[in-house]
Each structure stands twice: as C-alpha cells, then as structure tokens.
C-alpha cells in the first residue's frame, strides 16, 4: 500500500550531470577561489566526539560548498602545535587532536563549511599563538601596525565584542583553568593587540549588541594524579588569541535532539550523527535524498538541516543561484523514505516540529527493500537520487525466513570468523541487507551520487572491503570506524556511483 506518492517524474541522468557541472563551475567562479597553496590558515576546534570522522566531515562540507572535489591534502589538517599534538583518548572518542591548523580559501568559505558540521565547535582566525602564555604575548607585541589593522578590519563596524576563555584538556577533575585574576593579567599582556578594536566591550554573553567574539584558547596537558589520589593540573601546550570566524552546527543539533522529537523510535539515530552522515553524502539544496529504512526520519531530518544551513550561508556569499542549480526545483530538499512500517505520520510530525515541513518535500512509501521488483510505486517513477543516507537495521531486519546472500559466502565467512564464532547465518543476513541496498542504489542513484551508510563489524575487521559484497559500479570513497559496543566497531561507509557504460546492465535487479 502506498502511503504517499511523489509527483516528480524520473529525469535523464545526462542533463542532470551537465547541470551539476555548470553549477560546480559557477560556484567556483562566484567564490573567486585562489590556488590551494595560497589559502590562509585557520584554527579549527573540533568536538571531542566522532574522532576518526571529524576532519573528513569538514572536507566533505567544503567540497559541497565549493561545488568541486577538494583533495585531502588541501586542508593540511596538522595539529596546531606541531609534533607535540596528542591523540584524544577518552571512553567515547579516539582520534586526532581537537585543535587543528587548516587551510581554507577565505573566511567566508570556512564559515559556510563549518556551519554544516556536527563535529566542528568553532573556526578561529589566529592573531597570536605560542606554546606558553609568554610566547603568545611576545608574538602579539611583535605584530606591525599594518598587520594589526588587517586583523581588526572585520571588526571595523563598531559592533560590540567580547572575549571567550576556552580551556581544554583539564577534564572535570582538573580544575577550571585560569582564575579571574589570571584572566585579567592575560588580557593586560595582550593589551597592545586589543586596545584599538572599535566598538564597546560586551560583558553579558547573550547581549544582543555582541557581534564579534575573541577566543583565548588554552590547551592544557592532561591532569596527573598526585599524592592522596587527587588530580593536579599541568601546564599548557598551546595558547592562542583568536577571532571567532564561525561556529559549527551545535544549535541545529540541539534543536533536533532526540529528547525533543515529536516522534521517536528506540533505534533513532542521534541528531549529530545523522547530520554528520548528510555531510559525508555532500547534501545540497534541491537534492533528492533517499533513506530506504527511514523510520522516524532522523537521517532525512539531518539532510534537510544541512541543506537549510547551506542555502543560508551560500545566500550570504551571494552564490545562492549556483548552490541551488543542481535541480530546477526551488525546494529546500526532496526527502524520500522507504519503510515496511507505516511511519509517514511520524516523519512528517518531526519535519513540521523543526519547521521543515513547508520548505522540504517529505514523501514516504511503504515498501520492502528486499522486494525491489514489486516496489510501489515502481522505481522507474522515482526521480534520480543524489544521495542515499541510511542506517540499515541489520539486527532487527525483516527478511524472508532463511534467506541467504547470493555471494559465494567469502564475505560472510570473514564476518563470522571475525565475530569469534557467531552464527554464519547472521553474517549472511547482514550481507543480504547490503546486497539489497546496493541493488537499490544501482536502480535509483544518479551517476556521481553518493551512498552513505552505517555498518557494524567486529574489532578484528581492519579493512571494510573484506566484508562488503560485490558492489558493481559503486566505488568505495571512504570508511571511518567508531566505537560501538564492547565487541564491535560501527563503520561509516561512503560510496560513489560510477557512470554506466552504454549498452551494459548492472546485474543487480
């Protein structure tokens, strides 16, 4: 039974690709992008979460903003303090340092990319930095009047400004960092760099007159145990005075959090993870985004929020036309969900609660991904899909009793062996779900479209390729693994659909 039907007709892939190429070229011209080696550096402050994914999420967001592929080396994600940078190692996150020095074409492009990201806390323009407070103050005192005027130029509108003190690395038991007197002394030492800033100093953090924010960053070495079992704070490894260029998508993550949803399911994805997956899929305004296991719509909500952020930021850059030229529709997003349950009311309720219902098409079909030939409406009536973003229900999926993957079983045996003797039938069921997903992608995903999905796998799996079934034209673009359970990782896998050769079939359907 069809819950709702789309009125859009399937379009030919070639005109869509030509239009996409024009949009990419128009976006790069409009942004006036300099050569990569000439990009200025900024300090990116990441959240201490999703460690293996945070740099790649930012790169994917930058690719979406610029409308073209940005090489991985272009961001040059080196720790802000060079070889002294330490890995973040907590119970919930293992990854690179949360402070990274990265290149962006401009402050405006950095803001547009960072605003999309769930892993980014802030992007900062560094005014002075050093391993200690003394080194930072010395660098501030050595700046020429011309350089100081250049740094102050973005704040020349006379808007109110404030200083935010950001201490990292102390933990809950390591203290709060600088005392009030120490903060005053720090500002006094940086006085030559602050005294000529136009506009009043705003003391209240939420005051409406506050337009600019300076960050005083302290990255402390982890606290150590002292005698008596107490924690003792250690010195800093990095100190910087910076201007806030952009903040990440923390506001959108908060407003769309699961605890505030109108409709919720026990397996609903957290808001930050759904938003991050939308960035890996490089969702842009006007895209057609499909989730074949939509449930209450977490992934589609994340895609719609990313599209809304993107349109707002690119509008400020004056490139809204280029950003929205991927499809002729002026809609924010075309969200299509498939599910075996009647979940259309839950999805629409969540979209309406977040103010997305009037600006994004949310269409849900009751269909089983395991029966593509009998899908209603026929897949041929769906428009070309730009991105498939999903969290397949491997553990609770409903498939015909005893169904096995059509592969020779090598990937299933790899999964079963890595799981430490778990039933091979469960591994085969997981592979069967992936085969159905890949078949759907070959049926509806446009050339160059992206498939982004989550895949649990045992710790023993080092290369995700070893547990994936044959993927046809789908090319593996990236895979990052995150801690999931006591015995498993959860991989975030991204694949790109290659071009179909004339006269050849996929062999999937």
Please state, in angstroms and rounded to a whole number, the distance separating the CA atoms of residues 257 and 139.
42
Please state, in angstroms and rounded to a whole number, the distance separating the CA atoms of residues 412 and 427.
5
Mean pLDDT on 380-399:
75
Is the model's pLDDT at 438 over the cut of 60? yes
Average pLDDT score, the chain:
76
CB 418 within 8 A of CB 460: yes
Q: What is the share, in percent, of the chain residues with pLDDT greater than 90? A: 29
Domain assignments of the chain as residue spans, ordered by start: 32-251, 392-499
pLDDT in tens, 205-220: 566 667 899 999 988 7
Is the model's pLDDT at 481 over the cut of 60? yes
Mean pLDDT on 372-376:
61
Report the pLDDT value the prediction gives residue 303, as an integer from 0 to 100: 94
Fold of the domain spanning 32-251 = VC0802-like (3.30.2130)
Is the model's pLDDT at 498 over the cut of 90? yes
Report the pLDDT value the prediction gives residue 45, as an integer from 0 to 100: 92
Partners of 215 in beta bridges:
164, 242
Q: What is the CA radius of gyration of the chain?
A: 25
pLDDT in tens, 280-330: 999 999 999 999 988 888 999 999 999 999 999 887 665 543 444 454 456
Mean pLDDT on 341-361:
78
Please state, in angstroms and rounded to a whole number, the distance separating the CA atoms of residues 326 and 21.
9
3-state helix, strand, coil in the chain (%, to 5): 35, 25, 40
Please state, in angstroms and rounded to a whole number, the distance separating the CA atoms of residues 508 and 436.
9
Neighbours of 125 (CB within 10 A): 19
CB 336 within 8 A of CB 382: yes
Please state, in angstroms and rounded to a whole number, the distance separating the CA atoms of residues 35 and 74.
10
Please state, in angstroms and rounded to a whole number, the distance separating the CA atoms of residues 256 and 354.
7
Coil, helix or strand for 294? Answer: coil
Most confident of 79-93, 412-426, 459-473: 459-473
Report the pLDDT value the prediction gives residue 318, as an integer from 0 to 100: 59
Report the pLDDT value the prediction gives residue 230, as an integer from 0 to 100: 55
Report the pLDDT value the prediction gives residue 207, as an integer from 0 to 100: 63
Q: Where are the alpha helices (DSSP H) in 245-287?
A: 250-255, 271-280
Report the pLDDT value the prediction gives residue 316, as an integer from 0 to 100: 65
Mean pLDDT on 439-466:
88
Please state, in angstroms and rounded to a whole number, the distance separating the CA atoms of residues 151 and 354.
38
pLDDT in tens, 223-273: 555 555 555 556 677 899 999 999 999 999 999 998 888 877 777 889 999
Exposure of 35 in the CB half-sphere (CA atoms within 13 A): 2
pLDDT in tens, 137-196: 999 999 999 999 999 999 988 888 888 888 887 654 445 567 788 888 888 899 889 988
Please state, in angstroms and rounded to a whole number, the distance separating the CA atoms of residues 476 and 398.
27
Report the pLDDT value the prediction gives residue 81, as an integer from 0 to 100: 54
What is the distance, to the nearest Å, from the Cα of residue 58 to the centroid of all Cα atoms in its chain?
6
Report the pLDDT value the prediction gives residue 252, as an integer from 0 to 100: 93
Nearest to 106 by CA among 198, 33, 47, 212: 33
pLDDT band at 11 (very low <50, low <70, confident <90, very high): very low
Report the pLDDT value the prediction gives residue 15, as an integer from 0 to 100: 36
Is the model's pLDDT at 130 over the cut of 80? yes
Residue 340 or 424, more confident: 340
pTM value?
0.81
Mean pLDDT on 453-479:
87
Q: Where are the alpha helices (DSSP H) in 155-234?
A: 180-189, 191-194
Question: Where is average pLDDT lowest: 36-45, 110-119, 495-504?
Answer: 495-504
Mean pLDDT on 495-503:
82
Most confident of 93-102, 145-154, 173-182, 427-436: 145-154
Report the pLDDT value the prediction gives residue 332, as an integer from 0 to 100: 85
Report the pLDDT value the prediction gives residue 421, as an integer from 0 to 100: 45
Please state, in angstroms and rounded to a whole number, the distance separating the CA atoms of residues 353 and 374.
33
Coil, helix or strand for 46? Answer: strand
Report the pLDDT value the prediction gives residue 142, as an integer from 0 to 100: 93
Is the model's pLDDT at 428 over the cut of 60? yes
**Run of H or E including 63:** helix 54-66
CB 47 within 8 A of CB 57: no
Partners of 129 in beta bridges:
240
Please calculate the CA angle 127-129-116 and round it to the nearest 5 degrees: 65
């Amino acid at each position: 039974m069809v819950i709702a039907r789309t009125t859009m007709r399937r379009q030919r892939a070639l005109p869509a690709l030509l239009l996409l190429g024009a949009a990419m070229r128009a976006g790069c011209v409009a942004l006036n992008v300099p050569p990569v080696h000439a990009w200025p550096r900024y300090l990116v402050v990441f959240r201490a979460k999703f460690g293996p994914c945070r740099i790649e999420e930012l790169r994917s967001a930058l690719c979406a903003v610029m409308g073209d592929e940005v090489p991985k080396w272009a961001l040059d994600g080196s720790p802000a303090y060079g070889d002294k940078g330490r890995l973040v190692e907590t119970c919930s996150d293992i990854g690179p340092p949360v402070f990274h020095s990265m290149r962006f074409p401009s402050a405006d492009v950095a803001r547009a990319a960072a605003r999309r990201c769930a892993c980014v806390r802030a992007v900062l323009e560094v005014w002075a930095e050093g391993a200690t407070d003394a080194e930072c103050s010395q660098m501030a005192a050595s700046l020429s009047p011309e350089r100081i005027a250049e740094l102050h130029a973005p704040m020349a509108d006379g808007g109110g400004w404030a200083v935010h003190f950001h201490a990292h690395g102390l933990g809950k038991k390591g203290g709060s960092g600088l005392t009030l007197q120490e903060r005053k002394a720090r500002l006094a030492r940086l006085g030559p760099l602050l005294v000529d800033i136009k506009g009043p100093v705003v003391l209240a953090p939420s005051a409406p007159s506050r337009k600019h924010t300076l960050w005083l960053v302290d990255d402390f070495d982890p606290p150590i145990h002292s005698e008596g079992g107490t924690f003792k704070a250690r010195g800093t490894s990095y100190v910087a005075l910076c201007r806030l260029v952009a903040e990440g998508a923390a506001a959108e993550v908060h407003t769309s959090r699961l605890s505030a949803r109108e409709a919720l399911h026990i397996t609903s994805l957290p808001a930050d993870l759904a938003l991050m997956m939308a960035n890996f899929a490089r969702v842009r305004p006007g895209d057609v985004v499909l989730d074949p296991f939509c449930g209450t719509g977490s992934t589609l909500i994340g895609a719609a929020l990313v599209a809304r952020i993107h349109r707002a930021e690119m509008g400020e850059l004056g490139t809204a036309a280029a950003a929205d030229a991927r499809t002729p529709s002026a809609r924010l997003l075309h969200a299509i969900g498939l599910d075996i349950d009647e979940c259309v009311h839950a999805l629409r309720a969540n979209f309406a609660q977040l103010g997305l219902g009037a600006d994004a098409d949310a269409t849900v079909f009751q269909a089983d991904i395991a029966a593509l030939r009998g899908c209603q409406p026929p897949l041929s009536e769906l428009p070309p899909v730009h991105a498939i973003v999903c969290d397949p229900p491997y553990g609770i999926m409903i498939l015909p009793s005893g169904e096995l993957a059509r592969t020779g079983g090598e990937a299933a045996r790899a999964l079963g062996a890595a799981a430490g003797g778990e039933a091979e039938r469960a591994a085969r069921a997981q592979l069967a779900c992936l085969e159905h997903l890949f078949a759907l992608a070959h049926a509806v995903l446009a050339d160059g479209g992206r498939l982004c999905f989550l895949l649990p796998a045992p710790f023993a799996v080092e290369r995700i390729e070893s547990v994936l079934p044959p993927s046809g034209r789908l090319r593996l673009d990236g895979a990052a693994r995150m801690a999931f359970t006591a015995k498993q990782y959860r991989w975030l896998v991204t694949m790109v659909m290659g071009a179909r050769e004339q006269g050849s079939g996929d062999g999937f359907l």
